[in-house]
Amino acid sequence: MNGPETRFIDRVREVYTHRDRTLAELLEGRALPTAFVDRLAAPFLDPMHRWSVASYGGRPLPLINLGYWPGAKEIGEAQVALVHLLVGCAPDLAGARVLDAGSGLAGAAIILASHYGAQVDCLNVVEQQVCWSKDLIRMHGLEDRVRVHLGSACDMPFADGVFDVVFCLEAAHCFADKPRFLAESRRVLRPGGRLLMADAVATSQNYLLRWEWLAQLPLVTWPDWRGFILASGLSLEEERSIAGEVYPGFMQWLDREQPRERLLRRLVRRAWLEESGWRRRIGRLARLPLQLLSILPGLVRRLGDGLLWKRDYFVCVARK
Ligand SMILES: C[S@@+](CC[C@H](N)C(=O)[O-])C[C@H]1O[C@@H](n2cnc3c(N)ncnc32)[C@H](O)[C@@H]1O
């Protein structure tokens, strides 16, 4: 693996590894699956707050994607819908061998195996997610149909031509060397096999507007992706934007979960109303700049709106 790739993998491990959370907490909605966001949000949330978690066949199934929102009210429903949308781009998967590249907590793999009858290999660079995925697969009784491997999508630990489908849902934005991921996908696909990919993409080549410096993610635009796919020798069968079905629904859900107004009200109450007496109030005022930090989630969300506004979301199918 080359230098930038190793650096990004370290970053991905930092983003997704929980330091003091358990899988049970995640499944109860007491923590967010993206550890980095969980750490950022936790100090500002009511400890009783519960995030909604997707469920499948009556069992919890954490997914880590922005969701496909038409008809969905909760994030879990939207996330499951996004899996079905991407699978819908492929022919019948019954008995097919599928590689899920960047598999999160194996949520999509569990749906691919239990709903579509596929044999799935998950690939993930985050050790903790690999362990937790195995627990979840056991919980869903799918050990015979879903396997999990620790490794990078840019350096796949599989023989040539063994998969019918490479499935990659909202993970490729993390891959540092996208041409290498495509070359690896082509190598492990059988002739006629397909790559199904859905992901957030940048809409600008401008380094600042891509927010790459802040998000520390190697985001590229859809035209970049198209160029990489064509150069890899895969043929592009389908490409479409679903940004309108992803971002507005996600942002509305986030606002329902954590309204900015509630955070502001909390700040004002803390600063002025909870204590009486001028001296205390002046003391409080002096601490206001610090307390301003407590509206950070609202500000981050506003920034996020801008960030997402500069994003597109693409679904594509490429064939070997
Ligand atoms: C946003 S999550 C998406 C997870 C899953 N596809 C889902 O929809 O629930 C991105 C996933 O990609 C994984 N990932 C990032 N870089 C990777 C790499 N180079 N190789 C394999 N997996 C990677 C992360 O560990 C994480 O599990």
* % of the chain surpassing 90 pLDDT: 61
pLDDT band at 40 (very low <50, low <70, confident <90, very high): confident
Average pLDDT of the chain, as a whole number = 86
The predicted-structure confidence for 88-107, as pLDDT tens digits, reads as follows 998 899 999 999 999 999 99
pLDDT band at 267 (very low <50, low <70, confident <90, very high): low
Please report the pLDDT score of residue 91 as a whole number. Answer: 84
Q: Is the pLDDT of residue 254 over 90?
A: no
Question: What is the chain's alpha carbon radius of gyration, rounded to the nearest angstrom?
Answer: 21
Q: Is the pLDDT of residue 210 over 60?
A: no
The more confidently predicted of residues 242 and 290 is: 242
Residue nearest to atom 15 of ligand 1 (CA): 174
Please report the pLDDT score of residue 57 as a whole number. Answer: 86
Residue nearest to atom 14 of ligand 1 (CA): 102
Q: Is the pLDDT of residue 114 over 70?
A: yes
170 catalytic, yes or no? yes
Backbone angles phi, psi at 208, to 5 degrees: -70, -45
**Ligand 1 pocket test, candidate residues 125, 152, 178, 180, most atoms within 8 A of CB:** 125
Q: Is the pLDDT of residue 30 over 80?
A: yes
Number of CB atoms found within 10 A of residue 161's CB: 13
Q: What is the mean pLDDT of residues 167-186?
A: 96
What distance in Å separates the CA atoms of residue 263 and residue 249, rounded to the nearest whole number?
21
Please report the pLDDT score of residue 39 as a whole number. Answer: 85
Q: Is the pLDDT of residue 317 over 70?
A: yes
Q: What is the mean pLDDT of residues 274-287?
A: 62
CB neighbours of 220 closer than 8 A, spacing ≥ 6? 178, 201, 202, 228
8 in Cβ contact with 38 (< 8 Å): no
> Range with the lowest mean pLDDT among 26-35, 49-58, 106-115?
49-58
The predicted-structure confidence for 153-176, as pLDDT tens digits, reads as follows 999 999 999 999 999 999 999 998
* % of the chain surpassing 70 pLDDT: 78
Name the nearest CA neighbour of 70 among 299, 245, 224.
245
**Ligand 1 pocket test, candidate residues 55, 98, 99, 124, most atoms within 8 A of CB:** 124
pLDDT band at 52 (very low <50, low <70, confident <90, very high): confident
Q: Is the pLDDT of residue 217 over 80?
A: no
Please give the distance, rounded to the nearest whole angstrom, from the Cα atom of residue 103 to the centre of ligand 1: 5
- Which ligand 1 atom is nearest residue 123's CA? 21
44 in Cβ contact with 257 (< 8 Å): no
Global pTM reads 0.87
Q: What is the mean pLDDT of residues 209-216?
A: 60
Q: Which of 170, 184, 237, 275 is catalytic?
A: 170
**Ligand 1 pocket test, candidate residues 87, 174, 196, 199, most atoms within 8 A of CB:** 174
Please give the distance, rounded to the nearest whole angstrom, from the Cα atom of residue 277 to the centre of ligand 1: 53
Amino acid at 317: V
142 in Cβ contact with 114 (< 8 Å): yes
Number of CB atoms found within 10 A of residue 237's CB: 12
Per-residue CA distances from 191 to 127, 168, 179, 187, 195 (Å): 32, 18, 19, 9, 12
Please give the distance, rounded to the nearest whole angstrom, from the Cα atom of residue 265 to the centre of ligand 1: 36
- Which ligand 1 atom is nearest residue 175's CA? 19
Question: Six-digit token pair at 83?
Answer: 């899996």
Please report the pLDDT score of residue 214 as a whole number. Answer: 59
Using CB distances shorter than 6 Å, the residues near ligand 1 are: 9, 12, 16, 63-65, 102-104, 107-108, 123-126, 129, 152-154, 169-171, 174-175
HEC string of the chain equals CCHHHHHHHHHHHHHHCCCCCCHHHHHCCCCCCCHHHHHHHHHHCCCCCCCCCCEECCEECCCCCCCCCCCCCCHHHHHHHHHHHHHCCCCCCCCCEEEEECCCCCHHHHHHHHCCCCEEEEEECCHHHHHHHHHHHHHCCCCCCEEEEECECCECCCCCCCEEEEEEECCHHHCCCHHHHHHHHHHHEEEEEEEEEEEEEECCCCCCCCCHHHHCCCCCEHHHHHHHHHHHCCEEEEEEECHHHHHHHHHHHHHHHCCHHHHHHHHHHHHHHCCCCHHHHHHHHHCHHHHHHHHHHHHHHHHHHHHHHCEEEEEEEEEC
* CATH class of this structure's domain 3-249+302-319: alpha beta
pLDDT band at 152 (very low <50, low <70, confident <90, very high): very high
Q: What is the mean pLDDT of residues 258-263?
A: 62
Please report the pLDDT score of residue 54 as a whole number. Answer: 86
The domain segmentation of the chain, as residue ranges, is 3-249+302-319
